[in-house]
Amino acid sequence: MRSIAKVFLVVPLLGVLASSTAFAADHTVLMNGDYFGNMFFDPPTITVNVGDRVRWSNVTTVIHTATRGSDCLPDGGFNTGSINPGAFSAYVTFSAISTATYYCRFHCEMGMTGEIVVQQAPVKTQSTTWGRIKALYTPAK
C-alpha cells in the first residue's frame, strides 16, 4: 500500500515538472535592412513566454549585433556579439517576466532597435471528474 501512495505522490509531481517546460518555444528575430540604408529588427517587438528562447538571424550583407540596453548603451544583459551575414546568434533564454530593449551596436543611430516582452506562460489545466478519481481506486477485474 505504501508503494501505491508513493506513486500517487510522485506521478503528479512529474507532471508538474514536465508541464513547466512543455510550453517553452523557440523564436527567431531577423536582422534586416534595405538598399536605402534602413536597418531594422523584424519583428521590432516580439512577445514571448517565460522560458522561451530567442535567437537572431542576420539576413543582410553587413554585420549586426543584438545588445540589450537603451539609448545605444548596453545595460549588462544579453549580447549576441557580432553576427556575420547569413549567420545565427546563440539562443537567449528569457526566464523572468520583463521587457527587454535592445539595439544593434553598429546601427543603433540608424534606428535599429527592438523589444522583447516576456509574459507569464499560460497554465495548462485538465478537468478531473469524480469518475476518473474513482477509477484509480477500483480493483482491476
Contact 87, 58 (CB under 8 A): yes
**What is the model's pLDDT at position 20?**
46
How far from the centroid of its chain's Cα atoms is residue 102's Cα? 15
Rounded (10°) CA dihedral 3, 4, 10, 16: 180
Which pLDDT score is estimated for 14?
A: 46
CB 80 within 8 A of CB 89: yes
Q: Please give the Cα distance from 99 to 113 (Å, whole number).
A: 13
Q: Strand, helix or coil at 18?
A: helix
Q: What is the pLDDT along the chain (141 residues), one digit of tens a residue?
A: 555 544 444 445 444 444 444 568 999 999 999 878 899 999 999 999 999 999 999 999 999 999 999 999 999 999 999 999 999 999 999 999 999 999 999 999 999 999 999 999 887 777 777 777 777 777 776
